[in-house]
Amino acid sequence: MGIAAAMREEDGSFGGVGGLFAGNFALLALALKRATGAVACAAQGGYFLVADVSATGRQATRSCL
């Protein structure tokens, strides 16, 4: 199936991908908080998780996971 055909068939829900990403974000944010004390920044979409690592005593430039 080509891109044009896929775009015609897409209903805007992306097959639940948004919900999957949100669930993954929540799970990873909780695990990060419990394991290190880092606090995830509020997500506005996408698939990156950005966290404030200041509570861990680490420097942000040295804490990229």
| Residue 65 is assigned to a structural domain of this protein | yes
pTM (predicted TM-score): 0.65
Q: Give the domain range for residue 54.
A: 38-65
Among the listed residues 36, 58, 32, the one whose alpha carbon sits nearest the alpha carbon of residue 50: 32
| Residue 43 is assigned to a structural domain of this protein | yes
Q: For 1-65, where are the alpha helices, taking DSSP H only?
A: 3-9, 17-36
User: Based on the structure, what is the number of domains in the chain?
Assistant: 1
pLDDT digits (tens, 9 = 90+) for 1-58: 577 777 777 776 677 777 888 888 999 999 999 998 989 998 777 678 888 888 888 7
| Residue 3 is assigned to a structural domain of this protein | no
| Residue 21 is assigned to a structural domain of this protein | no
Structure tokens at 62: 């040295």
| Residue 5 is assigned to a structural domain of this protein | no
Residue 17 has what pLDDT?
Answer: 77
Residue 56 has what pLDDT?
Answer: 82
